[in-house]
Amino acid sequence: MIPKKIKNLCLPLVCCLALALVLFQMPSQCHAFDIEIDVSPNVLNIQSNSTIVTVHTDIAYSLVVGASVFLNGVAIDWWKSDDRGNFVAKFVSDEIKTLNGLIIGDYNTLTLTGFTTVPEAFIGTQDIMVIDVQPSGTGGK
């Protein structure tokens, strides 16, 4: 037989446990830390034959979950470490050239997002010029 004191504690204990589980499952607000990025090319020509847009960062390669990285919603194609050990992201140029909302002849903000192995979100932005010019020597007159 269970003593009366223990029976009286069961309901409040179960309620507290249930409340704690609900609170821990609630989504928390995510705040990303800022990183510096350098987009290459920094002038994106829609008419060029380029195949890759490269984003150099100042975050250590070993800290980044490569598959979590996106540039304006475009998934990363591949990644590597630079000679200083920083993360470098590579994106398919045609996917960047066809982003919705690009303004030709003006600066456009590219935003790199991703997660570290901790996991913690990071974000970096850079404005690049977007142009639509037929490259010389490609048959244009």
Instruction: Convert the pLDDT of each residue in 4-23 to its tens digit.
Output: 655 565 445 443 344 344 33
The DSSP result for 55-96, as a single string, is: EEEEEEGGGB-GGG-EETTEEP-EEEE-TTSEEEEEEEHHHH
Q: What confidence score (pLDDT) does residue 4 get?
A: 61
Q: Which residues pair with 128 in a beta bridge?
A: 108
- Per-residue pLDDT at 60 exceeds 80: yes
Q: Are strands 37-40 and 74-75 parallel, antiparallel or unpaired?
A: unpaired
- pTM > 0.95: yes or no: no
**Contact call for residues 122 and 33 (beta carbons, < 8 A):** yes
Tokens of 35: 């990183």
Q: Binning pLDDT at 50, 70 and 90, where does residue 86 land?
A: very high
Q: What confidence score (pLDDT) does residue 136 get?
A: 80
Q: What confidence score (pLDDT) does residue 12 get?
A: 53
